[in-house]
Structure 1
């Protein structure tokens, strides 16, 4: 495959020099209650300061999540630029700037033995629309939304060398193979066994209806070898609309190696939802490249549709649901425990009502190591701060925990001290 020339021009801005960031522990963040990451480990919390100006997230740290208080005022690591997104892998925390079409900064941190964040590297990367850990890499894709230039570019970033080690391109019009010329737009990336599965929606990429489609009632997943990124096959199903959503993961692998595919059923044409398929879950069994006969209609079970999900373990997911399909980009604010194995759902109690919630962390929530608790950051309407809520998966109950003063929580993670 021909390599795009701009990839070769990516320049590392700093990798050898370590920058010691401020620890953000404040007030009552130590001791007592809930999962403690250990005397040396820290929870990493990003929060957008509550100001009238557009500002970037701060990176804060805390000893535990179930009680206490931290603040964005005078604490943490202030980042450059707004619209940040995050991934934690190989015991490193990566912060990526969404450049809105322009290159953006990517910064990697680790935790030192003093409990402080240290900056490992800061470099420029193309703005990407999907990214995920694969083996010891982060695989990123810059995806075209223009049918006249339908190339998507992928990049392999090594978390061991902290450098880009490979790249390539995908003709998304050829991948979609639609009579009307629609192009494939990847919704996310998931490692399944030793392969990479990339669900995609087909979109017009033109005509004042860029993300509209005439193929609203089908799901497709491109399967690639790794690390070569050679297309192996396309998995197709017509029981649901596309898997995932724009910038939202819709495919999760359980402990058995089976992949569960979540569809919101919100494909649109000219801004109107035209999919005739309900929000539902389908499955790809381990070692296969086809959907089996598993099917769970979430709309029938809950009266709502899924906008995001977090996998806890043992077939149980935290489903984030919305009531009405008015937009392909709505964020749900209703919480349900989905037992995919037994095809049951249970509403979570102890949380603010949907009308009270301004924003939440969604997929950037944290799951305890034993899978029993999901920690979600929630900002209430009219609030000047946020709280971490602990959701007990088996009991489907929630309790309010750590308060973040002066900031809206955007992600929760955890790091152990670097060896």
Structure 2
């Protein structure tokens, strides 16, 4: 197990480019199973979670070529469904939440699949109800094997239907869309997730010959087709990395330019950072963040304390709340952070309190941050990364702190951030792998 050793208190300067979007990659990589023709995907992030999914596709029999670090070509001519019953698959997929999105393409093209309990971050309960109930209404039979700890799904007659989703689940919407493109008839999905990454998946499928309308809205209509063809697809910039770099600049009083950030796809994120007092400029497709000594948190119009909460697109992503919370520790003013979706994602604040932050954890979902306004710096400590997003938030805290910090379990950060130590060291940070 590796760790990061960070010497904090340094101002950074320079230009950095976000990697390709992790959450989009996990969707579109699964979609390559929908055709036996070649699919080329570019701007792929070289991170553990994405590489593990690519490895799983190879284990399933997909032919893979990787001519460069960020480009892969896939051809799913011969897929071995029986591999899903192997211990190797169960062990690998148990570490990766994105593996659940293999189910939709495999049901659509091969009529059966096996769905283990989701892996990934330990951030609370992550239900599969949206996925499985949607499949069930499309004609999928399912059962749960207590011995194998997995769902067994079969689709003898996959057909279109009307679906009103209980929640606008991103992975649930993606899974159902991928099943519906090859189903007989019309599938209508209401209360669908409409995040840019779902839009990207739908646009890619349409280039492959699917018929999806309503892209960008919460009402998707999919006319099933008999087959799909190959295509080329480029991933968007990762908006979570973009937000992390803005927070990093604010915390470390650094001047950064974030290149090729796909600024039109950021939703309410820029406005949220402005309400927290962060100054920046949007320049074409770049974001310029000047060095800033102080930033002041706004209040609501009636003067009450600002609340920042996660919300389906175009609201703030739950993946951003950890870095926003860290950034607020050095602001002037107070803010309530409300993490609605996951009940364990705020438990990393004990590390920030040990570093000197003033935070009251109200319950598993809410924390009040009382900004220090730079009157005192955070101090370096030894800590452990509990999940991807908390890990990079703690890294930002450590880079702003006085003295040395050590973040154990840094593999969690590597799951979502490509060469993060090398890229930040190039800006003047001091991060060493130990």
| Higher relative strand content | 1
- TM-score w.r.t. the length of structure 1 is 0.26
Greater RCO, CA 8 A, separation 6+: 2
- Structure showing greater radius of gyration is 2
The structure with the greater share of residues assigned to helix is 2
TM-score by length of 2: 0.25
